[in-house]
Amino acid sequence: MADELRERAAAMARREAAAQLRPAPFVPTDGTGTLVAVRLVACRSCGARPRERHWTPPFAPAGAEAPARGPVLAMLACEAVTARAVLPIVRTAERFPELREARFRTRAVLWDALSPATPPAEALALVDASERWIDAPGETPDGEAAAPGGEAARTLPASTRPHRGPRGWRWHRADLVPHFLSPHRNLPTRIGEHYAAEFRRALRTGHEGS
């Protein structure tokens, strides 16, 4: 099972690296460009509940203040992703009119929905499959399946960080380190380290080849 987890993690690392290396479109800072509305969902692992957050472009709040039209990203109440991480969502919404209001979710949302009932290797395979849409954004991905009790969505191939609100530097420094799957790091440490190494390797190789 360890080898299978490592292979899945490596494939996901290369996918995230490829997404990070894509050229970013122009995003106006006045909020007139494509905005990604964030829908916070409760975390079953830690019990975190959705609370109000301050969002800056390309993010926007979901609900009454959400943009009239635009993609929506489901994110755990206890996690955060970078603006660069949602580049694939913005590019997809701008290139494919039929996907301007598409639904997306973070890896952590799907992982949290699958755990602990689904074995780790099987759960990671489902996450891996659900983010392959990025290779052909205009097509319906094979992995576009609803999580238990959730709605169908494309999974964003991006690492995550914990979100704990205002804290001191000691806490903030620890939270700067991303994890590829969950803010709770509930996979063996060596899998996360393998992902990080493969991610750095893919970034370096992709940059040198560009």
Q: What is the pTM of this model?
A: 0.87
- The answer for residues whose C-beta is within 8 angstroms of residue 190's C-beta and 6 or more apart is none
Residue 8, pLDDT above cutoff 90: yes
- The answer for residues whose C-beta is within 8 angstroms of residue 122's C-beta and 6 or more apart is none
Interatomic CA distance for residues 70 and 31, integer angstroms: 12
Q: What is the pLDDT of residues 72-85, one digit of tens each?
A: 999 999 999 999 99
DSSP state of 179: B
Structural domain boundaries of the chain? 2-209
Residue 152, pLDDT above cutoff 80: no
Q: What pLDDT is attached to residue 67?
A: 65
CB atoms within 10 A of CB 26: 6
| Structure tokens that stand for 160 in this block | 């995550």
Q: Where are the beta strands (DSSP E) in 55-189?
A: 59-61, 72-76, 79-80, 103-106, 154-156, 161-162
Helix (H) or strand (E) holding 129: helix 120-130
Q: What is the pLDDT of residues 171-206, one digit of tens each?
A: 666 667 789 999 987 778 899 999 999 999 999 998
Interatomic CA distance for residues 99 and 107, integer angstroms: 19
Length of the chain, in residues: 210
